[in-house]
Amino acid sequence: MGIQRTFSIIKPDATRRNLTGKINAKFEDAGLRIVAQKRIHMTLAQAGEFYAVHKERPFFGELCEFMASEPVVVQVLEGEDAIAKNRLVMGATNPADAAAGTIRAEFAESVGENSVHGSDAPETAAEEIAYFFSGLELVG
C-alpha cells in the first residue's frame, strides 16, 4: 500500500473533554505521524460543505450543528496504509460496536458525538485535506 496521508478531525465532544493529547497518543502509538494540525471553530456553513455527502441523511442538521458547536482539531496523519490504519485506530462509527482499545470505544459518547472523523478512501482524503490545509502547512 505504501505511505499515505489521511485527514482526521478531533470532534467537539473530545476537545471539550481535553482529550486531544490522549487521542493523538493513539495515532502516534499506531505509527501515524501528525504532519499537520490546527485548532479551528467551524461555521455551520463550513460544516455543511464538509459533510455535503450526507446532506440527505436525517441526522445532517444535527451533525453540522454539533461540528460547529465548539472547536475541533483538524489534522493530516501520514504513515504506511494510513487511511485503513486510522480507521482501525478510530474503531466503528457507533461506539457500541467499536473494538476494545479503539478511540471510539474509549472516548466516544454516542454515534453522533463519536470523538473523531477519518477519511474513508484516498479520493476523499485528498479532498478533505485540501479543504482545510494548504500544501505549505503539510510538514512531513
- Does 114 help bind ligand CMP (rule: CB under 6 A)? yes
Size of the site for ligand CMP (CB under 6 A): 9
**Residue list 79-108, contact with ligand CMP (CB under 6 A):** 93
Cβ closest to ligand CMP, residue 81 vs residue 109: 109
- Does 111 help bind ligand CMP (rule: CB under 6 A)? yes
Q: Do 63 and 111 contact (CB within 8 A), yes or no? A: no
Shortest distance, CB of residue 18 to ligand CMP, whole angstroms?
A: 20
Report how far residue 57's alpha carbon sits from residue 41's, in angstroms, rounded to the nearest whole number: 23
* Among 79, 131, 105, CA closest to 23: 105
Report how far residue 8's alpha carbon sits from residue 108's, in angstroms, rounded to the nearest whole number: 15
Q: Give me the catalytic one of 98, 117, 118, 125.
A: 117
The helix or strand, by DSSP H or E, that contains position 123, with its residue range, turns out to be: helix 122-132
Q: Would you name the residues annotated as active-site residues?
A: 117
Binding site for ligand CMP (CB under 6 A): 54, 59, 62-63, 93, 111-112, 114, 117
